Structure 1
Amino acid sequence: MAEALINQFRSDHYHAVSAGSSPTGFVHPKAVETLQRHGIEAGHYESKSWDVFAGQSFDYVITVCDAAANEICPVFPGAYVKLHWSLVDPARILGAEADVNAAFEAAYMILKEKIQETFT
């Protein structure tokens, strides 16, 4: 969701990509639903390994879950700002659909706020 939000709200200055150490191979349907509910097209995003970006340079490298913050990331050349935004992974929430929806909505709102604070 962070990739989509940055590309939606800050595409005038940034192009975001996202990846992880253990990609699932699909974008969580609730992430897509949440983005679309907020008017953000999400059908073209995909789950991918951060290895595809190894060796590329970035202005920012942002981790959004505590597990990723403690992993050894690929080497990205050049100077960049490394940030960690500690979010509960909404994909790990089990239970009633309302609880899962609420978790994705909460993650969306936190990411939107962090992006607005960081990139304005």
Structure 2
Amino acid sequence: MTETSFNVLFLCTGNSARSILAESILNREGAGKFRAYSAGSHPKGGIDPTVLALLKKTNHPTEALRSKSWDEFTGADAPTMDFVFTVCDNAAGEVCPIWPGQPMTAHWGVPDPAGFVGSEAEKAAFCGEVMRLLRTRISIFAALPIASLDRLSLQRRLKEIGKVALESPEARDSGVL
């Protein structure tokens, strides 16, 4: 890991909703300290329209977003990841590639906005809830004193973040909510 900037990869099966949200949120919330990326084991090839509309409505960066395979991050010319987070249960259960640099990993599973069935208004509201949960976890992560934590302590904290829910005491105590 570098002292000034950390590379973070968010993984999901389709790379069309959850991992895209996480990438955009961290690139805004952690600008200067983090560079976020997203990918999928079986990318859908496009971003969910409700997710894209929500990101634009909330002034999150969208220009560089695209659905892509995690294979893009395994080659010699790929950026070395410091952290890799799975945000869907399918990706967490799959055999992931070997990431160069042995990044720290954790599972931060959230519900899938792309798979939500309901009216457009219901889907938009559901997507907003998923975004708030990801933003809560990402804000806690971005506030960690990474440089002062030993690897074992940092790994424990990363796993704990994946258990934080919107109304949990951890989220309230973090000062995020």
* Residue of structure 2 in register with 1:8 after alignment: 28
* Residue of structure 2 in register with 1:23 after alignment: 43
Aligned residues with identical type, % of pairs: 36
- CA-CA distance at 1:100 after TM superposition: 0.8
Counterparts of 1:101 and 1:7, CA distance in 2 = 22
- CA-CA distance at 1:16 after TM superposition: 0.7
Gaps of 5+ in 1: none
1:58 to 61, 70, 81: 81
Counterparts of 1:44 and 1:58, CA distance in 2 = 18
- CA-CA distance at 1:86 after TM superposition: 1.4
Q: Does 1:32 align with 2:52?
A: yes
Map Cα deviations across residues 25-83 of structure 1 (whole Å, 9 max, x no partner): 11111111111121113143100000111144211001101111101111102232101
Q: Does 1:72 align with 2:78?
A: no
TM-score, structure 2 as length reference: 0.65
- CA-CA distance at 1:119 after TM superposition: 1.4
2:112 to 69, 77, 89: 89
Aligned residue type for 2:62:
A
Gaps of 5+ in 2: 1-20, 144-177
Helix, strand or coil for the counterpart of 1:47? Answer: coil
Aligned residue type for 1:6:
L
Aligned residue type for 1:66:
D
- Which protein has the larger Cα radius of gyration, Structure 1 or Structure 2? 2
Report the aligned-residue RMSD.
Answer: 1.2
Helix, strand or coil for the counterpart of 1:17? Answer: strand
Counterparts of 1:112 and 1:30, CA distance in 2 = 17
TM-score, structure 1 as length reference: 0.94
- CA-CA distance at 1:111 after TM superposition: 0.7
Number of matched pairs = 120
Question: Would the aligned equivalents of 1:20 and 1:48 in 2 still touch at CA under 8 Å?
Answer: yes
